[in-house]
Structure 1
């Protein structure tokens, strides 16, 4: 039951991540690190509210091991830092494609965990979903890997490695409570603010831009991290890795729905591949669901 709850919360997390592109577009001219500062500040408030609801003192965050803080901050701040560096130093299409290796890496790295077995349908399902994500990123554009962008490609690969490693390592930290993510978010907001003041000019957002930034903090760049932590520690990490490819799919569909993007044959094929991949990788759960139906 706990694993099912973890998988469900993981799916909700992925749904929240699908709003990332929409709210990022609506955040307008807010510089990247300023946007992260606002978003993770909101995420920190969510964690503080969680502490209050659980009747825990703020000082309990100081009892979290430094190792956990290192892993959390490297995962949250490190990923976003290298993502921005990748986009700045390489074409967005190629950088995003390399970045979207992280769900596949989660599935592969999970084989290194104790009591975790990687089966053929996990790999096949994730590869099908990866092909779908490839089509979504590519859309109707061209794909050219140029050696002059090697640095940007390297940053994108670091992104994929950081987030997949953070996710897999989090699976082993079941003794670290989810409210510890509050501390990760506070430190990430702090480092983002330093990066903003060091590399960007302060920008005063409009009301609508600020609203979008706050929504990012409530959802894809904030609140979702608490859900993901619980999902990783309680759900099936291989299934979660494959289902993660639903994020770019749902994100594209949302952009199509609001009129920012247009539906194309390429997107339709990508939808089929990602959904098919998610179903294949969830083969064992489909069998359980089927048996429950017939027993009923």
Structure 2
């Protein structure tokens, strides 16, 4: 098998795994609060990342990395997983899974907009057009098609969903200056975020007994969403000769995710979700089109 074929398989594996997480979020939140899901999922993810380092015979790098990068790890860990997933899980608790996951896909556009004040980059006209198309899609989803009345089905949930894209985009922008090896860096982030999450749960009275179904869901979310799939995706990006070809696989994820949401959660897929998601994906594709000069 060629390296490109392996890259495609790894990329597809990551996309298929990510496609299940919206369903897993919603099922888990039927048994856990957002903070409890974050606590147990973070613990499961940390175990998954430690197992990856163990297989790579790199556990010995943890203590030197912690001494050298503890400030950076604490800051990035506070953003992801702590604040990002706390806000994202709250969005899923308030919104239907189909709406929360569709809005969450605007994070790539949010990152482009944030790169202007944070990195000093310039926006193209195409970026502004893409932003308009994407956020019209968010409007369609948030109002369930009642765009002219601006009657939002759940404004609080939508704000949490949009807030999660802001946090996720900020995390990746901060990450551009991170010189740590990715798997080690993510492990350190989760290691220092876990005490913060535990303290939050203690202060908010969330340290209570939880059902096994919730723990099972959290273990799946932690291992798949936050752990092993990240390494699958990194491996695909290292093996490929075309980053764009692998990156474009991510557009399969929301379509597969909607099907799984319908099958396993029983949500009827609304026409407004399909139209809104189509606009969001269309805006993201518009943003990714090459410049005429580059072509």
**TM-based fold match above 0.5:** yes
2: CA distance between counterparts of 1:230 and 1:120?
A: 34
Q: 2:224 corresponds to which residue? A: 219
Q: 2:56 corresponds to which residue? A: 54
Consecutive unaligned residues of structure 2, counting only runs of 5 or more, are 1-5
Q: 1:283 corresponds to which residue? A: 289
Structure 1, residues 150-195: CA drift from partner, whole Å, max 9, x if none?
Answer: 9x9987765443322111111222x211121101112222222222
CA 1:223–1:124 in structure 2 vs 1: closer, same or farther (change >3 Å)?
Answer: farther
Note the C-alpha offset of 1:23.
0.8
1: CA distance between counterparts of 2:86 and 2:254?
A: 20
Q: 2:20 corresponds to which residue? A: 19
CA 1:230–1:164 in structure 2 vs 1: closer, same or farther (change >3 Å)?
Answer: farther
> For the Cα contact (< 8 Å) 1:46–1:223, is it kept in 2?
yes
Q: 2:267 corresponds to which residue? A: 261
CA 1:20–1:62 in structure 2 vs 1: closer, same or farther (change >3 Å)?
Answer: same
Q: 2:3 corresponds to which residue? A: none
Note the C-alpha offset of 1:15.
5.6
CA 1:102–1:243 in structure 2 vs 1: closer, same or farther (change >3 Å)?
Answer: farther
CA 1:52–1:244 in structure 2 vs 1: closer, same or farther (change >3 Å)?
Answer: same
Q: 1:66 corresponds to which residue? A: 70
> For the Cα contact (< 8 Å) 2:37–2:218, is it kept in 1?
yes
2: CA distance between counterparts of 1:75 and 1:243?
A: 26
2: CA distance between counterparts of 1:153 and 1:135?
A: 12
Structure 1, residues 239-267: CA drift from partner, whole Å, max 9, x if none?
Answer: 97x99887666543421233521133223
Which of 45, 48, 57 pairs up with 2:47?
45
1: CA distance between counterparts of 2:281 and 2:188?
A: 35
Q: 1:180 corresponds to which residue? A: 185
2: CA distance between counterparts of 1:283 and 1:264?
A: 29
> For the Cα contact (< 8 Å) 2:137–2:278, is it kept in 1?
yes
CA 1:11–1:111 in structure 2 vs 1: closer, same or farther (change >3 Å)?
Answer: farther
The alignment partner of 2:285 has SS state of helix
1: CA distance between counterparts of 2:117 and 2:109?
A: 14
TM norm structure 2 = 0.69
2: CA distance between counterparts of 1:183 and 1:283?
A: 36
> For the Cα contact (< 8 Å) 1:34–1:196, is it kept in 2?
yes
2: CA distance between counterparts of 1:113 and 1:107?
A: 10
Note the C-alpha offset of 1:43.
0.9
TM norm structure 1 = 0.69
CA 1:180–1:64 in structure 2 vs 1: closer, same or farther (change >3 Å)?
Answer: farther
> For the Cα contact (< 8 Å) 2:38–2:86, is it kept in 1?
no
Consecutive unaligned residues of structure 1, counting only runs of 5 or more, are 292-296
1: CA distance between counterparts of 2:161 and 2:274?
A: 26
